[in-house]
């Protein structure tokens, strides 16, 4: 007998039984309402016929009629378009099951049952697999220690006009294990640079220098060997190494503790050896991995050294960076940059100088210094500024009123109309593209030079033909002053220009109290000899009475949070609030026990944040956690479309993260 014929007979008999059951039910109801011997006899005959029919069905069809649930599931599978018939589905060598529209299991094969060691009929599929969506063709699931690909397809039950779903599991545990193993064994490359090698070797005796160098070598060789990697020294202070991805993941968990261990090697009482590391990851090739490592190391050095940076694609991960910046042959670099700038200027038709938005004294001071260099080397020069912040309005007005500087300041739109392919654009006091005064001008410029002293982040101006970036420097004004010094008699500063440069240095060093090195004082002395006056400079910083009161309120409202960090909110949202906030942060550092001060203020729809410290707390790292930047002792951020209350909450979370990482 064919499968189709059997099915037709089964369907007919099932329908006949249903009719008999219905007749019996009706007879019971009628008998209850109208008692009659004839009806009783008819009811008895109907029951006898039903019983006889069921016995005949059992004798004729044997075990063909099984539980309705099983028959229902098998019939559904018979209609599954991809597999065709029940045997091919149920006997699949893979775990297989069918669910109803409510995701409940209707039928399943032995392979599926073996995964759970129990009867799972009626169980919810998402409960069994952890998660399940019948509308997604391919999913994944974990059962005990095994991993499966889950394939789901729609089934149509034609007889009952219902949708069901087939579920087939493919064990991919071995594949995933091999994939994970291959990923863990993938090689990553790295570069190590001893930040202060020259400085360390200068302060130790000649007899000790080889021993110290050997100790550094031993420390690094032991470290890389413990990771199962290889290392090679290719210059006196540079190393290349290769380790596995698995070893790198372990180092990430330990936060590259080699950065602290290497500091155990000291030269004298005050100088510890520090390292910068760049690690590159690439799925393409070792060549790309090495390029990423170089970029990561360059960024680590640009951020002041004593840190490790991992680069994978465009993503950077930062570790360390808590120490003060290290100067690398500052005098030599200043001379080289001065000569390079002179060469770039020689080919320029004119020069534009542009700082960051909401310019401060360092930005305007260094811009005026570049203006003098360009003018004395025979080039027309313009300082691009669209909005004059209240903090620099005094010196801006002094320059505007001086006939010697007529036409020096121009707007961004005017600059866009003048700029040509031979125009040189000099960016000062920032390296971040979206912080410059006019981004369109930066995009249009063909030749760009960058002067900055902020510790580098992942986002920086990449198309610069010359970059003078020194995170050790107190200010960009200091860098520009050093260039002027090396250009000698070819550049002669005027009193107002010397005042502007000294003002920039004074503000960023908090009157030479923070981050002022030997070169900082030498630059200030040079400016003093060339017409700068400290009294005139101090007068540039005076506040109006109302601003002084707001600053006092801001200081009074401060809250000591934790870890020596104090936080306050400036109550003013008027022009100049960001300057007042910065001044208040400086004042808060004068409190005993305070390691860092954070002050927020509202400017339009945004909240500006000023962070200050003495260096023990790295406010640049702290501000980077909320999207800002800066350097170790002075940093800031701008939080868009947020209330001051939410900004404070966000900053407190950043402080918590920083303190946790610093443990």
Higher per-residue pLDDT: 69 or 575: 575
Q: Please state whether beta strands 162-171 and 146-157 pair in parallel, antiparallel, or not at all (unpaired).
A: antiparallel
Q: 262: domain range? A: 189-320
Together in a domain, 56 and 78: no
Can you tell me the distance from the alpha carbon of 244 to that of 181, in angstroms, rounded to the nearest whole number?
11
Quote the CA–CA distance of 158 and 374 in Å, as a whole number.
86
Q: Give dist(CA 64, CA 71) in Å, integer.
A: 9
Q: Taking each helix axis from N to C terminus, what angle separates 3-33 and 37-61, rounded to the nearest 10 degrees?
A: 160
Asked whether 110 and 117 are in contact (CB, 8 A), the reply is no
517 and 391 part of one domain: yes
Q: 300 in helix, strand or coil?
A: helix
Q: What is the mean pLDDT of residues 215-223?
A: 94
Position 379 scores a pLDDT of: 95
| pLDDT reading at 80 higher than 50 | no
Which residues, at least 6 apart from 309, have a Cβ–Cβ distance to it below 8 Å?
A: 277, 278, 279, 296, 297, 299, 300, 303, 316, 317, 318, 319
326 inside domain? no
Contacts of 349 (CB under 8 A, 6+ apart): 420, 422, 423
Three-state DSSP at 154 gives strand
Q: Which two tokens stand for residue 265?
A: 């090697």
| Residues β-bridged to residue 351 | 381, 424
Question: Who's near 538: CB < 8 A, 6+ residues apart?
Answer: none
Q: Say if residue 443 is in the same domain as residue 411.
A: yes
Indicate if 61 and 206 belong to the same structural domain.
no
Rounded mean pLDDT, 433-453? 93
262 and 397 inside one domain = no
Note the pLDDT of residue 70. 39
CATH number at residue 372: 3.90.1640.10
How many CA atoms lie less than 13 Å away from 28 in the CB half-sphere? 7
34-43, 112-121, 427-436, range with greatest mean pLDDT: 427-436
CA torsion sign, 251 to 253 to 255 to 260?
negative
Chain mean pLDDT for the chain: 83
Reply yes or no on whether the pLDDT at 604 is more than 90.
no
Tell me, what's the pLDDT at 329? 58
pLDDT the model gives residue 336: 80
Rg (CA), the chain: 39
Of the CA atoms within 13 Å of residue 342, those in its CB half-sphere come to: 15
Type and span of the H or E element at 519:
helix 518-529
pLDDT bin (cut points 50, 70, 90) of residue 56 is low
Same domain, 163 and 294: no
Are 45 and 126 in the same domain?
no
Q: What is the pLDDT of residue 76?
A: 43
CA 657/CA 343 separation, integer angstroms: 46
Report the relative pairing of strands 596-603 and 565-569 from DSSP bridges. Answer: parallel
Residues 559 and 533 in one domain: no
Residue 80 in tokens: 């599954």
Looking at the fold, whether 377 and 507 belong to one and the same domain comes out as yes
Could you please report the per-residue DSSP string of 32-54? HHS--HHHHHHHHHHHHHHHHHH
- 151 belongs to a structural domain: yes
pLDDT score for 497: 96
Between the alpha carbon of residue 657 and those of residues 22, 608, 621, the distances in Å are 73, 20, 10
pTM: 0.61
Same domain, residue pair 521 and 562: no
Give how many domains the chain has, as a whole number. 5
Question: Mean pLDDT across the stretch 603-630?
Answer: 88
- Flag whether 333 is in a domain: no
Considering 148, 176, 204, which residue would you say is the last residue of a domain? 176
Look at residue 84 in the predicted model and tell me its pLDDT: 43
Q: Residues of the chain with pLDDT > 90: what percent? A: 39
Residue 181 inside a domain? The answer is no
Looking at the structure, tell me whether residues 507 and 623 fall in a common domain: no
**Count of residues in the chain:** 663
CA dihedral 53, 56, 58, 60 (to 10 degrees): -140
Residue-wise pLDDT tens digits, 407-435: 999 999 999 999 999 999 999 999 889 88
Q: For residue 640, is it within any domain?
A: yes
What pLDDT score was predicted for residue 98?
Answer: 86
- Shared domain for 449 and 563, answered yes or no, is no
CATH number of the domain that 268 lies in? Answer: 3.30.70.270
Which of 289, 320, 351 is at the close of a domain?
A: 320
Cα(149)–Cα(172) distance, integer angstroms: 7
17 falls within a domain: yes
- Report the first-to-last Cα separation within the chain, whole angstroms: 80
Dihedral pair phi/psi, residue 605, rounded to 5°? -90, -5
Query: Quick one: DSSP state of residue 284?
Result: S
Confidence grade of residue 284 (pLDDT, cut at 50, 70, 90): confident
The residues, any chain, with a CB within 8 Å of residue 638's CB and separated by 6 or more, are 606, 607, 608, 609, 627, 628
* CATH number (domain holding residue 160): 3.30.450.20
* 562 inside domain: yes
215 domain residue, yes or no: yes
């Amino acid at each position: 007998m064919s499968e189709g014929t059997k099915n037709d007979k089964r369907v007919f008999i099932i329908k006949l039984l249903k009719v008999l059951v219905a007749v019996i039910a009706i007879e019971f109801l009628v008998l209850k309402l109208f008692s009659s011997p004839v009806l009783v006899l008819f009811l008895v005959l109907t029951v006898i016929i039903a019983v006889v029919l069921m016995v005949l069905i059992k004798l004729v069809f044997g075990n063909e009629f099984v539980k309705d649930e099983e028959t229902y599931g098998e019939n559904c599978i018979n209609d599954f378009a991809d597999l065709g018939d029940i045997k091919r589905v149920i006997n699949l060598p893979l775990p297989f099951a069918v669910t109803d529209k409510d995701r409940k299991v209707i039928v399943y094969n032995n392979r599926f049952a073996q995964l759970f060691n129990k009867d799972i009929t009626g169980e919810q599929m998402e409960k069994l697999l952890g998660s399940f969506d019948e509308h997604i063709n391919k999913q994944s699931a974990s059962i005990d220690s095994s991993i499966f690909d889950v394939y789901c397809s729609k089934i149509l039950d034609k007889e009952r006009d219902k949708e069901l779903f087939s579920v087939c599991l493919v064990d991919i545990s071995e594949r995933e294990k091999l994939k994970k193993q291959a990923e863990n064994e993938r090689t990553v490359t790295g570069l190590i640079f001893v930040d202060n090698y020259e400085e360390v070797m200068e302060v130790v005796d000649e007899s000790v220098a080889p021993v110290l160098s050997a100790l550094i070598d031993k420390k690094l060789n032991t470290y890389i060997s413990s990771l199962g990697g290889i290392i090679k020294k290719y210059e006196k202070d540079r190393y290349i190494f290769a380790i596995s991805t698995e070893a790198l993941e372990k180092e990430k968990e330990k936060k590259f503790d080699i950065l602290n261990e290497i500091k155990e090697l000291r030269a004298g009482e005050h100088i510890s050896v520090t390292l910068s590391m760049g690690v590159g990851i690439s799925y393409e090739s070792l060549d790309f991995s090495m390029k990423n490592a170089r970029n990561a190391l360059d960024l680590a050095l640009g951020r002041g050294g004593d840190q490790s940076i991992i680069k994978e694609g465009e993503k950077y991960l930062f570790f360390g960076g808590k120490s003060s910046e290290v100067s690398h042959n500052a005098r030599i670099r200043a001379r080289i940059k001065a000569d390079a700038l002179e060469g770039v200027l020689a080919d320029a038709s004119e020069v534009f100088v542009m700082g960051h938005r909401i310019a401060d004294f360092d930005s305007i001071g260094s811009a005026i210094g570049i203006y003098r260099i360009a003018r004395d080397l025979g080039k027309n020069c313009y300082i691009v500024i669209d909005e004059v912040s209240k903090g620099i309005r005094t010196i801006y007005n002094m320059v505007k009123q001086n006939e010697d500087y007529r036409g020096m300041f121009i707007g961004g739109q005017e600059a866009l109309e003048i700029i040509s392919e031979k125009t040189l654009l000099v960016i000062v006091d920032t390296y971040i593209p979206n912080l410059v005064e006019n981004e369109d001008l930066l995009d249009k410029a063909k030749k760009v030079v960058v002067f900055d002293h902020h510790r580098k982040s992942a986002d920086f101006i990449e198309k610069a033909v010359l970059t003078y970036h020194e995170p050790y420097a107190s200010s960009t004004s200091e860098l520009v002053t050093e260039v002027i010094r090396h250009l000698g008699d070819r550049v002669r500063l005027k009193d107002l220009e010397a005042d502007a440069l000294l003002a920039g240095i004074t503000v960023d060093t908090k009157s030479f109290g923070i981050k002022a090195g030997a070169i900082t004082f030498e630059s200030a002395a040079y400016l003093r000899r060339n017409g700068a006056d400290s009294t005139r400079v101090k007068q540039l910083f005076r506040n109006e009475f109302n601003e002084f009161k707001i600053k006092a309120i801001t200081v009074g409202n401060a809250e000591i949070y934790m870890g020596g960090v104090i936080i306050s909110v400036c109550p003013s949202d008027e022009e100049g609030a960001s300057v007042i906030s910065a001044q208040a942060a400086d004042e808060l550092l004068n409190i005993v026990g305070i390691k860092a001060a954070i002050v927020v203020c509202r400017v339009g729809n945004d909240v500006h944040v000023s962070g200050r410290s003495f260096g023990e707390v790295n406010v640049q790292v702290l501000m980077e956690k909320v999207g800002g930047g800066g350097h170790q002792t002075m940093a800031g951020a701008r939080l868009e479309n947020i209330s001051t209350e939410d900004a404070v909450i966000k900053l407190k979370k950043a402080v918590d993260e920083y303190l946790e990482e610093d443990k």
